Amino acid sequence: MLAARYHGIGQVRVEHLPQPECGSGQALVKVAYAGICGSDLHIFRKGMFVSTIPEVMGHEFSGVVEQVGPGVTTLQPGDQVVGDPRVSCGICPWCRTGAYNLCPALGFIGEVRPGCFAEYLVLEANKLIKIPAAVELRRAALVEPLAVALHIAGQGRLALAEHLGIVGAGPIGILTVLVARALGVKRITVIDIAAERLALAGRLGATILQTFPGGQGDQPDVVVEAVGVEATLAGALGWLKPRGRLVMAGLYEERVDIDPNDIVVKELELVGVSAYETGDLHRAVELIAGSKMDVEQIVTHVLPLASAPKGFAILASGDKKAGKILLTPKEKGEENGPGR
């Protein structure tokens, strides 16, 4: 089968590998669509998270069950599925209460075991979630990033925001706009340096800005930081209103130098957000299957799996015109204009 493997910083190669076999309690899934995530870029640029090299990348996918191993009764061939890509120890106090995202040993498929940038992958049946047959697989591939936005909304108590600031108009920032709107948040301001990305946030009714506003005028009471660099973190701290809440959703590639006095003198509250809980994944499946929430707006490219290196090149380039890039093992891919 075809698969895209990480071979070291800046190196993603498309190769032919043996098709994986499913053991007891597992299922073999034929991948339909797989999304390139911000964390895949952290791997590509910095070599973060990966435990063995080479490794098949990717953790966001939709697909169809091809075969089930002995003992699997919850799935059958032909079922449409998405996956819970979290790989955790299973025995720590966090895992025992189901809070796998807080497991100290947390990893993801595509990092600590083979991922979904491949024609097939094998996963434990209890890590696969069925999707109704009527749901398009292309839409279903967005369950995982939508679960991140739902976890941001829950942890960050976004429903209580009067004026929500979102820093970063990438896929997670845009999905957070959609979720916040659905929760009834009326005022949303989105900041990003890239005009193309901002335009989409603007079409969703958010006020858009390319730089942090100065002064004490119109400060948000809640800001979601979805970038993860020094300038955006410092900007977010400075932007928030006193007693405001900073929801930290971006992962950092470098250490940052900020002025902690912004937190002290304004009595800010800081909330970290890591991945999602199982309930967020199920809620995302419900929203994708049962609502009209237009999550597909974040998809700017659907590339054939064989073009995975091109997908990484587009996302790693400085112009930030791309949103979510989906890979498909289908030969052709489906070109998609920005912002569709």
Residues lying near Zn ion in the complex (CB under 5 A): 37, 60, 88-89, 92, 95, 103
User: Do 158 and 152 touch, CB atoms closer than 8 A?
Assistant: yes
Measured from the CB atom, is 82 or 236 closer to Zn ion? 82
Residue 277 corresponds to which tokens in the numbers above?
């809980």
What Cα–Cα distance (Å) separates residue 135 from each residue in 138, 147, 225, 284? 9, 17, 31, 13
Q: How far apart are CA 159 and CA 112, in angstroms?
A: 35
Closest CB 238 distance from Zn ion, rounded Å? 29
Q: 304 is written with which tokens?
A: 């054939």
Query: Cβ(156)–Cβ(94) under 8 Å?
Result: no
DSSP string, 186-253: -EEEEE-S-HHHHHHHHHTT-EEESS---SSSS--SEEEE-S-SHHHHHHHHHHSPTT-EEEE-PPPS
In angstroms, give the least distance from the CB of 220 to Zn ion. Answer: 25
- Asked whether the beta carbons of 85 and 37 are under 8 A apart, the reply is no
Residue 193, classified by CB atoms within 10 Å of its CB into exposed (0-12), middle (13-18) or buried (19+), is: middle
Residue 88 C-beta: closest distance to Zn ion, Å: 4
Give whichever of 198 and 281 is closer to Zn ion, judged by the CB atom.
281
Nearer to Zn ion, 89 or 135 (CB): 89
Nearer to Zn ion, 49 or 120 (CB): 49
Which stretches of 40-87 are assigned E, i.e. beta strand? 55-56, 60-68, 80-83, 86-87
d(CA 20, CA 12): 20
Q: Give the nearest distance from C-beta 83 to Zn ion in angstroms.
A: 11
If the CB atoms of residues 60 and 84 are measured against Zn ion, the closer one turns out to be 60
Q: Which is nearer to Zn ion, 72 or 293 (CB)?
A: 293
Q: Nearer to Zn ion by C-beta: 105 or 263?
A: 105
Residue among 98 and 290 whose Cβ is closer to Zn ion: 98
By beta-carbon proximity to Zn ion, the closer residue of 44 and 239 is 44
Question: Around 61, how many Cα atoms within 13 Å sit in the side-chain half-sphere?
Answer: 36
Given a contact cutoff of 8 angstroms between Cβ atoms, the answer to whether 94 and 48 are in contact is no
Assign 269 to helix, strand or coil: strand
**Distance in Å, CB of 16 to Zn ion, minimum:** 26
DSSP notation for 6-22: EEETTEEEEEE-PPP--
